[in-house]
């Protein structure tokens, strides 16, 4: 597992443990993982005096493949 995947998994796991007392802890954990994914892959695209935060879909697909293969 890459360091990046470990950080994303750790974000999910930490929130899972922290929020286990709440009925929606699965959703909270997923949200934490999504935020960490965005933090890992974001970049800024500047166009006409505006900055847009962008995440490349291809890197998300590659991450999904990597995560699916963790337990094979």
CA 27 to the chain's CA centroid? 13
Q: What DSSP character marks residue 22?
A: S
Domain chopping of the chain, boundaries: 3-71
**3-state SS class at 20:** coil
φ and ψ at residue 51, rounded to 5 degrees: -110, 130
H helix or E strand, kind and range, residue 44: strand 42-47
Q: Over the stretch 10-68, which tens digit does the pLDDT of each residue have?
A: 888 898 888 888 888 888 888 888 888 888 888 777 766 667 778 888 988 888 887 77
Q: What is the pLDDT of residue 53?
A: 79
Tell me the C-alpha distance between 8 and 45, whole Å: 23
């Amino acid at each position: 597992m890459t360091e990046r995947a470990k950080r994303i998994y750790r974000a999910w796991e930490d929130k899972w443990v922290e929020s286990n007392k709440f009925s929606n802890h699965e959703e909270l954990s997923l949200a934490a993982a999504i935020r960490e994914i965005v933090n890992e892959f974001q970049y800024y695209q500047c166009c006409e005096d505006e900055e847009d935060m962008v995440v490349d879909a291809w890197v998300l697909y590659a991450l999904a493949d990597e995560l699916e293969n963790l337990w094979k």
